[in-house]
Amino acid sequence: MSENHSAKYEPHVMVDVVDPMKDGASSTWKACFYSMLFVEVLHVFTFVWFAWNSAKWLHADGELWTTINWKHVAGGIFTIISMVLIFSFWNTVARHQSTLDYNISYLRFRIRNFKGLESFSKYGEDPRVKTNILMRLIYTILNNIGFFANAQDVIMSFTGITHFDRKTGLTTEKVNEDTWVLSHPYKGDHGFNLFAVPKFVDTDEVIIANFLEAVNTLPADHLVSTTMISGHNTSYIMDDIEEQLKLPNLSPIREKALYSIYEKFKNRVGTEQPIFIIHIGLPPAVHEYEHIENMRKARDEFELTLNDVGIDTVLIKDPEDLTYIMNGMFTGNLVIGKDINEY
């Protein structure tokens, strides 16, 4: 057997893989560095040309005269300033590989934030509303070409959901790559979401006990995440907001935020009834029908247990419904009635 043939079956034979960061610098950083170097070399030759041609020696009437070409002098000064500015820009933006990586990540964050993908106004006005006429025109044009994200895109990015099956309610999502994930038995990327409303008369202790009882019906390879939407009357905090607005030396930003909260909730009755969103992550499976079967089993055990103790549940099948609920969490504009039904 030849050496090449045997190497195909020997797992210890390693193949050298080229690392783009093998020398500690990416191709982007190298492009920035060599571009800066090339431009600075051009600046040097340009400055030498301007300096050589900025003065001329003339012979007139037997005497030696010197004339200054002020345009070339100005060109030489401008070249020096340009050299310093370009080097300063490179030194600030891409001095090291880590500096370039940080600035690129920060720029991408600013673009996402500008598009509205990173956050949205919780109580105040839309941050994209500007008083400057030029900025209003720019925002109007960008809005008309669909540059900005809508609320559903933002909220779906918060949840990590990448696909929502409207027929079954099955979701596909990203898993947070945190340290606890490595030791947690849940390894799937499919799940579903329930909208749950306990009985009004139940205390917090009873509700928690009921949830724990339901969680115990699921195997360890499932993931259960419960989020409470409301449970406190917002009118309770209005007195505190009024007192904070009276504080001296209140910053304009803080004052605007407090006043926005006050205006939003001052006439709202509120509710003492806790409302929950329950996310259940399903174990990994190969085929879609296996995910659906796993969801059915989880609902038969987990959801039936909650229903038996008086906690009403509804399977959320539409991303619009989940957006509606979560947007209500952030803005306070949540009216629970017969708008969300399982069908």
How far is residue 227's CA from residue 233's CA, in Å, rounded to a whole number? 17
CATH number of the domain that 280 lies in?
3.30.70.260
Cβ–Cβ contacts within 10 Å for residue 211, how many? 21
Burial of 164: CB neighbours in 10 Å, binned 0-12, 13-18, 19+: buried
Element (H, E) at 280: strand 275-282
pTM of the model: 0.54
Q: Comparing C-alpha atoms, which of 211, 196, 226 is closest to residue 342?
A: 196
131 and 202 together in one domain: no
Query: Is 171 found in the same domain as 127?
Result: no
Number of domains in the chain: 3
pLDDT at 254 over 90: no
Asked whether residue 287 is assigned to any structural domain, the reply reads yes
184 and 283 housed in the same domain: yes
Same-domain check for residues 159 and 295: yes
Q: Which helix (H) or strand (E) holds 225?
A: strand 223-230
**Same domain (yes/no): 83, 102:** yes
CA 211 – CA 202 distance, rounded (Å) = 12
Is there a single domain that holds both residue 214 and residue 70? no
34 and 71 part of one domain: yes
Task: Give pLDDT tens digits for 104-130.
Answer: 988 988 888 788 777 655 444 455 555
Quote the CA–CA distance of 293 and 106 in Å, as a whole number. Answer: 43
16 domain residue, yes or no: no
- Indicate whether 102 and 185 sit together in one domain: no
Q: Is residue 259 assigned to a domain?
A: no
pLDDT tens digits, 154-192: 777 777 788 888 888 899 887 766 555 566 677 788 999
Task: Give 132-167 as a 3 state SS string.
Answer: CHHHHHHHHHHHHCCCCCCHHHHHHHHHCEEEECCC
> 3-state DSSP call for residue 214?
helix
Q: Are 334 and 229 in contact (CB under 8 A)?
A: yes
Cβ neighbours around 48 below 10 Å, total? 12
